[in-house]
Structure 1
Protein backbone atom coordinates (compact mmCIF):
# COMPACT_ATOMS: atom_id res chain seq x y z
CA UNK A 1 0.00 0.00 0.00
CA UNK A 2 1.21 3.49 -0.84
CA UNK A 3 2.36 5.51 2.13
CA UNK A 4 1.45 8.91 0.67
CA UNK A 5 -1.79 10.24 -0.82
CA UNK A 6 -1.85 12.78 -3.63
CA UNK A 7 -4.92 14.60 -4.84
CA UNK A 8 -4.53 15.24 -8.57
CA UNK A 9 -7.02 17.98 -9.42
CA UNK A 10 -7.42 19.18 -13.00
CA UNK A 11 -9.35 21.74 -14.95
CA UNK A 12 -10.29 21.95 -18.61
CA UNK A 13 -6.98 22.49 -20.36
CA UNK A 14 -5.46 20.04 -22.86
CA UNK A 15 -2.98 18.32 -20.47
CA UNK A 16 -5.92 16.96 -18.46
CA UNK A 17 -6.40 14.51 -21.32
CA UNK A 18 -3.21 12.78 -20.14
CA UNK A 19 -4.37 12.13 -16.58
CA UNK A 20 -4.20 8.33 -16.89
CA UNK A 21 -0.50 8.56 -17.77
CA UNK A 22 0.13 11.04 -14.95
CA UNK A 23 -1.65 8.79 -12.45
CA UNK A 24 0.61 5.90 -13.53
CA UNK A 25 3.72 8.05 -13.01
CA UNK A 26 2.55 9.14 -9.57
CA UNK A 27 1.68 5.59 -8.54
CA UNK A 28 5.09 4.37 -9.74
CA UNK A 29 6.56 6.92 -7.33
CA UNK A 30 4.71 5.26 -4.43
CA UNK A 31 1.67 7.49 -4.09
CA UNK A 32 -1.98 6.58 -3.82
CA UNK A 33 -3.87 8.99 -6.12
CA UNK A 34 -7.32 10.54 -5.95
CA UNK A 35 -8.54 12.40 -9.05
CA UNK A 36 -10.74 15.48 -8.89
CA UNK A 37 -11.91 17.53 -11.85
CA UNK A 38 -13.82 20.66 -12.70
CA UNK A 39 -17.18 19.85 -14.29
CA UNK A 40 -15.89 20.73 -17.76
CA UNK A 41 -12.77 18.60 -17.33
CA UNK A 42 -15.01 15.73 -16.19
CA UNK A 43 -17.02 16.15 -19.40
CA UNK A 44 -13.81 16.07 -21.45
CA UNK A 45 -12.73 12.83 -19.74
CA UNK A 46 -16.24 11.36 -19.55
CA UNK A 47 -15.44 8.03 -21.22
CA UNK A 48 -12.18 7.71 -19.23
CA UNK A 49 -13.69 8.23 -15.77
CA UNK A 50 -14.48 4.55 -15.05
CA UNK A 51 -10.93 3.56 -16.03
CA UNK A 52 -9.46 6.31 -13.82
CA UNK A 53 -11.55 5.06 -10.91
CA UNK A 54 -10.33 1.53 -11.49
CA UNK A 55 -6.73 2.72 -11.86
CA UNK A 56 -6.80 4.76 -8.62
CA UNK A 57 -9.20 2.65 -6.58
CA UNK A 58 -11.07 5.84 -5.65
CA UNK A 59 -14.07 7.60 -7.16
CA UNK A 60 -13.30 10.51 -9.47
CA UNK A 61 -14.87 13.60 -7.96
CA UNK A 62 -16.21 16.63 -9.78
CA UNK A 63 -19.08 17.59 -7.49
CA UNK A 64 -19.08 18.48 -3.81
CA UNK A 65 -20.43 16.09 -1.21
CA UNK A 66 -23.96 16.71 -0.08
CA UNK A 67 -24.72 17.19 3.62
CA UNK A 68 -24.58 13.86 5.40
CA UNK A 69 -22.35 12.16 2.81
CA UNK A 70 -19.18 10.57 4.15
CA UNK A 71 -15.79 11.50 2.74
CA UNK A 72 -14.79 8.89 0.15
CA UNK A 73 -11.11 9.81 -0.15
CA UNK A 74 -8.29 9.34 2.36
CA UNK A 75 -6.64 12.53 3.66
CA UNK A 76 -4.05 13.95 1.28
CA UNK A 77 -0.38 14.46 2.01
CA UNK A 78 -0.30 16.97 -0.87
CA UNK A 79 -2.49 18.16 -3.72
CA UNK A 80 -1.68 19.33 -7.23
CA UNK A 81 -4.04 21.54 -9.20
CA UNK A 82 -2.84 21.04 -12.76
CA UNK A 83 -3.56 21.88 -15.40
CA UNK A 84 -5.03 25.02 -13.86
CA UNK A 85 -6.90 27.06 -16.45
CA UNK A 86 -7.22 30.85 -16.38
CA UNK A 87 -10.66 30.43 -14.82
CA UNK A 88 -9.43 27.99 -12.16
CA UNK A 89 -6.52 30.24 -11.15
CA UNK A 90 -8.73 33.31 -10.90
CA UNK A 91 -11.58 31.53 -9.09
CA UNK A 92 -9.12 30.05 -6.58
CA UNK A 93 -7.43 33.37 -5.89
CA UNK A 94 -10.75 35.13 -5.43
CA UNK A 95 -11.94 32.48 -2.97
CA UNK A 96 -14.94 31.52 -5.06
CA UNK A 97 -16.28 27.98 -4.79
CA UNK A 98 -18.46 27.21 -7.82
CA UNK A 99 -17.29 23.61 -8.04
CA UNK A 100 -15.62 20.79 -6.11
CA UNK A 101 -12.07 21.68 -7.19
CA UNK A 102 -12.40 25.37 -6.25
CA UNK A 103 -13.94 24.42 -2.92
CA UNK A 104 -11.02 22.12 -2.16
CA UNK A 105 -8.52 24.88 -3.00
CA UNK A 106 -10.31 27.38 -0.75
CA UNK A 107 -10.29 24.91 2.13
CA UNK A 108 -6.66 23.92 1.51
CA UNK A 109 -5.59 27.56 1.65
CA UNK A 110 -7.57 28.16 4.82
CA UNK A 111 -6.19 25.08 6.54
CA UNK A 112 -2.69 25.52 5.06
CA UNK A 113 -2.67 22.09 3.47
CA UNK A 114 0.22 21.38 1.05
CA UNK A 115 -0.93 22.66 -2.34
CA UNK A 116 0.75 23.05 -5.72
CA UNK A 117 -0.91 24.98 -8.55
CA UNK A 118 0.53 24.83 -12.05
CA UNK A 119 -1.33 26.92 -14.63
CA UNK A 120 -1.85 26.01 -18.23
CA UNK A 121 -2.70 29.17 -20.13
CA UNK A 122 -1.59 30.65 -23.40
CA UNK A 123 0.46 33.85 -23.50
CA UNK A 124 -2.60 35.97 -24.31
CA UNK A 125 -4.45 34.76 -21.21
CA UNK A 126 -1.29 35.20 -19.14
CA UNK A 127 -1.32 38.93 -19.91
CA UNK A 128 -4.77 39.46 -18.43
CA UNK A 129 -4.30 41.76 -15.42
CA UNK A 130 -6.39 39.55 -13.11
CA UNK A 131 -4.24 36.51 -13.87
CA UNK A 132 -1.07 38.17 -12.55
CA UNK A 133 -2.90 39.38 -9.45
CA UNK A 134 -4.29 35.87 -8.93
CA UNK A 135 -0.85 34.27 -9.16
CA UNK A 136 0.48 36.69 -6.54
CA UNK A 137 -2.56 36.18 -4.29
CA UNK A 138 -2.11 32.41 -4.34
CA UNK A 139 1.62 32.69 -3.66
CA UNK A 140 1.04 35.09 -0.76
CA UNK A 141 -1.46 32.59 0.67
CA UNK A 142 1.25 29.92 0.83
CA UNK A 143 0.39 28.03 -2.35
CA UNK A 144 3.35 26.73 -4.36
CA UNK A 145 2.54 28.23 -7.77
CA UNK A 146 4.65 26.90 -10.65
CA UNK A 147 4.43 29.66 -13.23
CA UNK A 148 7.20 31.53 -14.97
CA UNK A 149 10.82 30.63 -14.38
CA UNK A 150 10.98 27.13 -12.88
CA UNK A 151 7.37 26.44 -13.75
CA UNK A 152 4.90 26.47 -16.61
CA UNK A 153 5.86 28.88 -19.40
CA UNK A 154 2.99 29.90 -21.69
CA UNK A 155 3.10 29.55 -25.46
CA UNK A 156 1.38 31.82 -27.98
CA UNK A 157 -2.28 30.94 -28.60
CA UNK A 158 -2.65 27.77 -30.64
CA UNK A 159 1.00 26.78 -30.31
CA UNK A 160 1.00 24.79 -27.08
CA UNK A 161 1.92 21.12 -26.98
CA UNK A 162 0.08 19.27 -24.22
CA UNK A 163 2.76 16.54 -24.22
CA UNK A 164 5.33 19.21 -23.24
CA UNK A 165 3.38 20.20 -20.11
CA UNK A 166 5.95 20.00 -17.27
CA UNK A 167 4.24 17.43 -15.06
CA UNK A 168 7.57 16.48 -13.47
CA UNK A 169 7.83 19.96 -11.91
CA UNK A 170 4.44 19.60 -10.23
CA UNK A 171 5.20 16.09 -9.01
CA UNK A 172 8.57 17.18 -7.61
CA UNK A 173 6.94 20.12 -5.82
CA UNK A 174 4.26 17.88 -4.29
CA UNK A 175 6.91 15.41 -3.17
CA UNK A 176 8.89 18.18 -1.45
CA UNK A 177 5.76 19.54 0.29
CA UNK A 178 4.84 16.08 1.59
CA UNK A 179 8.25 15.42 3.15
Structure 2
Protein backbone atom coordinates (compact mmCIF):
# COMPACT_ATOMS: atom_id res chain seq x y z
CA UNK A 1 0.00 0.00 0.00
CA UNK A 2 1.35 3.43 -0.88
CA UNK A 3 1.37 6.43 1.38
CA UNK A 4 -0.93 9.35 0.43
CA UNK A 5 2.05 11.63 -0.25
CA UNK A 6 3.53 9.02 -2.60
CA UNK A 7 0.51 9.36 -4.90
CA UNK A 8 1.55 12.90 -5.92
CA UNK A 9 4.66 12.63 -8.05
CA UNK A 10 4.47 15.82 -10.09
CA UNK A 11 5.95 19.00 -8.63
CA UNK A 12 3.33 21.60 -7.75
CA UNK A 13 3.54 25.13 -9.15
CA UNK A 14 1.69 28.11 -7.76
CA UNK A 15 1.01 30.75 -10.41
CA UNK A 16 0.40 34.16 -8.83
CA UNK A 17 -1.55 36.36 -11.24
CA UNK A 18 -1.72 40.15 -10.92
CA UNK A 19 -4.06 42.70 -12.49
CA UNK A 20 -2.51 43.14 -15.93
CA UNK A 21 -4.21 43.17 -19.31
CA UNK A 22 -2.52 39.94 -20.35
CA UNK A 23 -3.58 38.06 -17.21
CA UNK A 24 -6.47 36.50 -19.13
CA UNK A 25 -3.87 34.52 -21.11
CA UNK A 26 -2.44 32.76 -18.04
CA UNK A 27 -3.79 29.51 -19.47
CA UNK A 28 -0.71 29.56 -21.74
CA UNK A 29 1.55 29.21 -18.69
CA UNK A 30 -0.70 26.57 -17.14
CA UNK A 31 -0.66 24.52 -20.35
CA UNK A 32 3.13 24.84 -20.69
CA UNK A 33 3.61 23.77 -17.06
CA UNK A 34 1.30 20.79 -17.45
CA UNK A 35 3.12 19.75 -20.62
CA UNK A 36 6.34 19.82 -18.57
CA UNK A 37 4.69 17.56 -15.95
CA UNK A 38 3.80 20.12 -13.29
CA UNK A 39 0.52 20.28 -11.40
CA UNK A 40 -0.67 23.89 -11.14
CA UNK A 41 -2.75 26.01 -8.79
CA UNK A 42 -3.56 29.70 -9.36
CA UNK A 43 -3.50 32.45 -6.74
CA UNK A 44 -4.82 35.80 -7.94
CA UNK A 45 -4.45 39.20 -6.37
CA UNK A 46 -7.89 40.63 -5.53
CA UNK A 47 -7.72 42.97 -8.54
CA UNK A 48 -6.19 40.26 -10.74
CA UNK A 49 -9.16 37.97 -10.11
CA UNK A 50 -11.34 40.22 -12.28
CA UNK A 51 -9.09 39.54 -15.30
CA UNK A 52 -9.52 35.75 -15.17
CA UNK A 53 -12.04 33.20 -16.40
CA UNK A 54 -12.22 31.41 -13.07
CA UNK A 55 -14.23 28.45 -14.34
CA UNK A 56 -11.87 27.83 -17.27
CA UNK A 57 -8.87 27.89 -14.92
CA UNK A 58 -10.59 25.59 -12.45
CA UNK A 59 -11.33 23.16 -15.29
CA UNK A 60 -7.77 23.36 -16.61
CA UNK A 61 -6.02 22.93 -13.25
CA UNK A 62 -8.57 20.91 -11.27
CA UNK A 63 -8.28 23.44 -8.42
CA UNK A 64 -10.20 26.59 -7.46
CA UNK A 65 -8.44 29.93 -7.82
CA UNK A 66 -7.37 31.26 -4.45
CA UNK A 67 -7.63 34.97 -3.81
CA UNK A 68 -8.69 35.31 -0.18
CA UNK A 69 -7.42 33.98 3.12
CA UNK A 70 -8.88 30.71 4.38
CA UNK A 71 -11.19 30.77 7.38
CA UNK A 72 -9.82 29.16 10.56
CA UNK A 73 -10.19 25.39 10.32
CA UNK A 74 -10.92 25.47 6.57
CA UNK A 75 -9.03 22.85 4.55
CA UNK A 76 -6.17 23.98 2.32
CA UNK A 77 -7.49 23.97 -1.25
CA UNK A 78 -4.02 23.58 -2.82
CA UNK A 79 -1.10 21.27 -2.06
CA UNK A 80 2.12 22.95 -0.91
CA UNK A 81 4.14 24.57 -3.70
CA UNK A 82 7.48 23.31 -4.93
CA UNK A 83 7.92 26.56 -6.86
CA UNK A 84 6.07 29.79 -7.59
CA UNK A 85 5.73 31.83 -10.79
CA UNK A 86 4.47 35.39 -10.46
CA UNK A 87 3.15 36.03 -13.95
CA UNK A 88 2.20 38.59 -14.93
CA UNK A 89 3.64 40.63 -12.07
CA UNK A 90 2.39 44.18 -11.61
CA UNK A 91 4.22 47.29 -10.40
CA UNK A 92 2.11 47.26 -7.25
CA UNK A 93 2.77 43.62 -6.35
CA UNK A 94 6.51 43.81 -6.99
CA UNK A 95 6.94 46.90 -4.84
CA UNK A 96 4.75 45.64 -1.98
CA UNK A 97 6.42 42.21 -2.00
CA UNK A 98 9.93 43.71 -1.90
CA UNK A 99 8.84 45.90 1.02
CA UNK A 100 7.49 42.88 2.91
CA UNK A 101 3.86 44.00 2.76
CA UNK A 102 1.49 41.08 3.16
CA UNK A 103 -1.97 42.61 2.79
CA UNK A 104 -3.34 40.07 0.30
CA UNK A 105 -3.18 36.29 0.12
CA UNK A 106 -0.89 36.47 -2.92
CA UNK A 107 1.59 38.75 -1.13
CA UNK A 108 1.36 36.68 2.06
CA UNK A 109 2.26 33.54 0.13
CA UNK A 110 5.17 35.30 -1.60
CA UNK A 111 6.54 36.74 1.64
CA UNK A 112 6.34 33.37 3.43
CA UNK A 113 7.67 31.35 0.50
CA UNK A 114 10.94 33.28 0.54
CA UNK A 115 11.50 32.34 4.18
CA UNK A 116 10.68 28.72 3.39
CA UNK A 117 13.18 28.47 0.55
CA UNK A 118 10.63 27.95 -2.21
CA UNK A 119 12.08 28.99 -5.61
CA UNK A 120 10.22 31.94 -7.12
CA UNK A 121 10.36 33.41 -10.62
CA UNK A 122 8.73 36.72 -11.46
CA UNK A 123 7.77 37.96 -14.93
CA UNK A 124 7.10 41.71 -14.65
CA UNK A 125 4.55 43.24 -16.99
CA UNK A 126 4.29 47.01 -16.85
CA UNK A 127 4.89 50.11 -18.86
CA UNK A 128 8.15 52.03 -19.23
CA UNK A 129 6.90 54.96 -17.13
CA UNK A 130 6.35 52.61 -14.18
CA UNK A 131 9.75 50.93 -14.57
CA UNK A 132 11.40 54.38 -14.51
CA UNK A 133 10.22 54.92 -10.93
CA UNK A 134 13.11 54.57 -8.44
CA UNK A 135 11.02 52.40 -6.12
CA UNK A 136 10.70 49.78 -8.85
CA UNK A 137 14.45 49.60 -9.46
CA UNK A 138 15.06 49.32 -5.71
CA UNK A 139 12.42 46.60 -5.44
CA UNK A 140 14.06 44.55 -8.20
CA UNK A 141 17.43 44.92 -6.45
CA UNK A 142 15.93 43.70 -3.20
CA UNK A 143 14.20 40.75 -4.88
CA UNK A 144 17.42 39.77 -6.67
CA UNK A 145 19.17 39.93 -3.29
CA UNK A 146 16.56 37.44 -2.06
CA UNK A 147 17.49 35.10 -4.96
CA UNK A 148 14.18 35.72 -6.70
CA UNK A 149 14.53 34.90 -10.40
CA UNK A 150 13.57 37.89 -12.57
CA UNK A 151 12.34 37.42 -16.14
CA UNK A 152 13.76 39.29 -19.08
CA UNK A 153 10.59 40.96 -20.40
CA UNK A 154 10.75 44.51 -21.68
CA UNK A 155 8.34 47.22 -20.53
CA UNK A 156 5.74 48.37 -23.02
CA UNK A 157 5.08 52.02 -23.93
CA UNK A 158 2.72 53.91 -21.61
CA UNK A 159 -0.92 54.02 -22.73
CA UNK A 160 -0.34 51.21 -25.25
CA UNK A 161 -2.59 48.66 -23.55
CA UNK A 162 0.39 46.46 -22.77
CA UNK A 163 -0.54 43.55 -24.94
CA UNK A 164 1.23 44.41 -28.19
CA UNK A 165 4.39 42.40 -27.55
CA UNK A 166 4.32 38.67 -26.85
CA UNK A 167 4.63 37.79 -23.19
CA UNK A 168 7.16 35.03 -22.53
CA UNK A 169 5.00 32.87 -20.22
CA UNK A 170 7.31 29.85 -20.46
CA UNK A 171 10.28 31.85 -19.21
CA UNK A 172 8.98 31.32 -15.66
CA UNK A 173 9.39 27.55 -16.09
CA UNK A 174 12.77 27.96 -17.77
CA UNK A 175 13.96 29.93 -14.73
CA UNK A 176 12.48 27.59 -12.12
CA UNK A 177 13.26 24.13 -13.45
CA UNK A 178 17.05 24.31 -12.90
CA UNK A 179 16.36 25.32 -9.27
CA UNK A 180 14.48 22.08 -8.67
CA UNK A 181 16.33 19.82 -11.02
CA UNK A 182 12.68 19.29 -12.09
CA UNK A 183 12.65 15.86 -10.51
CA UNK A 184 9.10 14.50 -10.16
CA UNK A 185 10.04 12.84 -6.88
CA UNK A 186 11.20 16.12 -5.29
CA UNK A 187 10.01 16.44 -1.68
CA UNK A 188 7.37 18.94 -0.59
CA UNK A 189 8.58 22.25 0.76
CA UNK A 190 5.42 23.05 2.69
CA UNK A 191 4.31 26.47 1.49
CA UNK A 192 1.20 28.07 2.95
TM over 0.5: yes
What is the match of residue 17 of structure 2?
A: 10
Partner in structure 2 of residue 153 of structure 1 = 154
Q: Provide the C-alpha distance between the structure 2 equivalents of 1:14 and 1:2, rounded to a whole number of angstroms.
A: 34
1:5 shift after superposition: 1.0
TM-score normalised according to structure 2 size: 0.84
- Provide structure 2 residue ranges, at least 5 long, that are not aligned to the other structure: 1-7, 182-192
1:64 CA drift (Å)? 1.5
Q: How does 1:1-179 map to 2 (within 5 A)?
A: 3-45=10-52, 48-146=53-151, 151-159=152-160, 160-161=162-163, 164-179=166-181
Which structure has more helix as a fraction of its residues? Answer: 1
Of 60-69 and 79-88, more deviation after overlay is shown by: 60-69
Whether the 8 Å CA contact 1:15–1:163 is kept in 2: the answer is no
Distance 2:21 2:50 in 1: 13
Aligned partners of 1:13 and 1:83 also within 8 Å: yes
Structure 1 stretch displaced more, 114-123 or 2-11: 2-11
TM-score, length of structure 1 as denominator length: 0.90
Higher CA-based Rg: 2
The count of aligned residue pairs is 173
Cα-Cα RMSD: 1.5
Alpha-carbon shift at residue 3 of structure 1 (Å): 1.4
Query: CA contact under 8 A between 2:20 and 2:51: conserved in structure 1?
Result: no
Could you give the per-residue CA deviations for residues 111-159 of structure 1, whole angstroms, max 9, x where no partner exists?
121111111111100011100010011111121122xxxx111121133
